[in-house]
Structure 1
């Protein structure tokens, strides 16, 4: 589903954040990535999403669903990101001027798909009957539920989550992660979650640690995710 080959990212000759990183993410896996601050976790997500560019290399460094990102122009990369990826952020990024239904329906609208699934997704995340509400009427946990619904509504193949529980209290974070895992298993999407939280990482199928030496598998099977 997603393959990284010798992925390297430098911000200057003095600062190489990622150095020849290679990994293959299987379809349907829910992966947590942990690591020290500044090691490049968010940079890695931005590269996978095509929002940032890796250092030039003779071979494709990032391959999504068999498509090398480097082979795509800006328009094609945007279409791939819009159709095949979903995003969940720490800061929610729920649009304040849109209703909950409109927020969730946005990926459907951008992909030219029927928008009826938006209400079904709100119901799936425990917000049935709230489609006409606005984000200012929600708690942080509820806004993150909207973000999850929006990320999954168009049935993406790949979900990228950057510290999705960083602004939530422990009980709400646990509820949101349980919901995310449940919805991912229903959709069959591959998910990569960057987190500092061991409790959040325990919800994933596998925990990888990002260091200056690359990605290291710290759990072959994560019992807490079963």
Structure 2
């Protein structure tokens, strides 16, 4: 489903990822751990096509991301991927329902699933509220609902439980597993939390020398 082929990425002359290769299987929930600054978030951005490697390839469903123009890459991300960012990227001028429904609208799908996902992340009945009315943990849950609502084939999650209390985090991680398994999706979750990583099918450690089983 996803192949990393000899990826290299540097910023300001400092190598972040070097000769990184790995194959992720479809339907697999993988946690990636590692020290701060080792390139975990960079890796997710490369997989999503939000950044480009200096060399090497990211291959999604047999298609190299580098072979796609901007419009085609956007269509692939919009239809096949879901993202949970540390910074949430919830749109302040849209209601919670509109934020969650956005991937459905962009993919021309019915939007009735938005309220169900809000309920699944513990925000039932709050679809008409706006982001300014929410705490950081609640905003994170909106971002999670939005990432799952269109049943993506590949979920990319960057510290998805970082702003959540342990009980809510466990509920959210259970939802991620449930939704990805129901649709046969793959998931890659970057986390510092051993409790979060324990929910994954496989835990990989990212080091300067590459990815290896933790």
Question: Structure 1 residue aligned with 2:188, among 192, 197, 217?
Answer: 192
In the alignment, what sits opposite 2:14? 15
1:37 aligned onto 2:36: yes
Aligned 8 A contact 1:91 1:167 in 2: no
Give the unaligned 5+ runs of structure 1: 219-226
For structure 2, the residue ranges without an aligned partner over 5 or more in a row are none
Do the aligned partners of 1:141 and 1:173 also contact (CA within 8 Å) in 2?
A: no
Alignment of 1:181-220 (within 5 A): 181-218=177-214
Given the alignment of the two structures, is residue 95 of structure 1 paired with residue 91 of structure 2, yes or no? yes
What is the alpha-carbon distance in structure 1 between the residues aligned to residue 133 and residue 175 of structure 2?
A: 21
Compute the TM-score of the two structures, normalised by the length of structure 1.
0.87
- Compute the RMSD of aligned alpha carbons: 1.7
Partner Cα distance (2:28, 2:129) in 1: 33
- Cα distance in 1 between the residues matched to 2:132 and 2:173: 22
Q: What's the TM-score once normalised by structure 2's chain length?
A: 0.92
> What is the CA distance between 1:201 and its match in structure 2?
1.0
Q: 2:144·2:160 contact (CA, 8 Å) conserved in 1?
A: no
Worse overlay, 85-94 or 139-148: 139-148
2:127 corresponds in structure 1 to 131
Q: Distance in 2 between matches of 1:91 and 1:97?
A: 16
Q: Distance in 2 between matches of 1:42 and 1:55?
A: 16
User: How many residues end up aligned between the 2 structures?
Assistant: 214
Contact 1:2-1:24 at 8 Å conserved across structures:
yes
